[in-house]
Amino acid sequence: MKAMILAAGRGERMRPLTDTIPKPLLQVGGKPLIAYTVELLKTGGIDEIVVNYAHLGQQIVDYLGDGSEFGVSIRYSDESSGALETGGGILKALNQLDDQPFVVINSDVWTDFPIERLPRELTGLAHLVMVDNPSHHATGDFCLDKKMVNLNQGRKLTFSGIGVYSPRMFDGMKQERFPLVPILRDAIIRRQVTGEYYSGKWMDIGTPKRLQALNDQILAGD
């Protein structure tokens, strides 16, 4: 199984920190955010990774290299001519992800989720890891009813930014800039998306305040 790390975002809410450093390279606990993501995948048994990049992306390439220092193999999807959003970015990288289900994870989440428990095969088009709603996203994203993700039945939770996708989810899509949410919602309506709830450590590092909070937490050993 392969994985894709989404690292092409501009990080507007992190400015001015991201004016000179791409968001995935912002440090917490003495190392860049993206290092934790690569290590999480490696620990979970995934050692073939694709990383997309745009804003200041060469810094990401220079830091990660071919992945050998992390014990993985890393390839890149270059969006420096214009970031393609999540959907367009995944579509562009599909030719490096083969024809089997693959993991996608945001580079700006920090978690101890056990990647090895993600399904290697899908009954539908996607599988999402859901978490409790953080204070900055109190209304959540989708509902989880047993193992099925839906829009309005069951407990409303937040999508963690960790998912498994079938390449078939992108059938018929044109290579251009587009978000993932609309096609994900369409798959949910067609009952093609399973999910699971995770109650362990998870944080969306979207602002300098949250970055500092995570740094303090890691340094405190929590």
Note the pLDDT of residue 153. Answer: 85
Amino acid at position 90, single letter: I
List Cβ neighbours of 10 (8 Å cut-off, separation of 6 or more): 18, 23, 54, 55, 83
CATH 3.90.550.10 fits 3-219, yes or no: yes
Note the pLDDT of residue 70. Answer: 97
> Average per-residue pLDDT in the chain?
94
- 58 backbone dihedrals φ, ψ, rounded to 5°: -60, -30
* Domain residue spans of the chain: 3-219
Q: Does 115 score more than 90 pLDDT?
A: yes
| Residues 186-215 as b or e (16 or more Cβ within 10 Å = b) | ebbeeebbbbbebeeebbbbbeeebbeebb
Q: Does 11 score more than 80 pLDDT?
A: no
Q: Does 55 score more than 90 pLDDT?
A: no
- Which tokens in the block code for residue 132? 């409790």
Q: From the CB of residue 138, how many other CB atoms can be counted at a distance below 10 Å? A: 9
Percentage of the residues of the chain whose pLDDT score is greater than 90: 83
Q: From the CB of residue 221, how many other CB atoms can be counted at a distance below 10 Å? A: 6
Q: Does 41 score more than 80 pLDDT?
A: yes
Which whole number is the average pLDDT over 108-124?
A: 96
User: pLDDT of 62-93, one tens digit each?
Assistant: 999 999 999 999 999 999 888 899 999 999 99
Note the pLDDT of residue 177. Answer: 94
Note the pLDDT of residue 13. Answer: 80
Task: In whole angstroms, give the CA distance from residue 95 to residue 62.
Answer: 23
User: pLDDT of 188-203, one tens digit each?
Assistant: 999 999 999 999 999 9
Location of structure tokens 């994985």: 3
Which whole number is the average pLDDT over 134-149?
A: 93
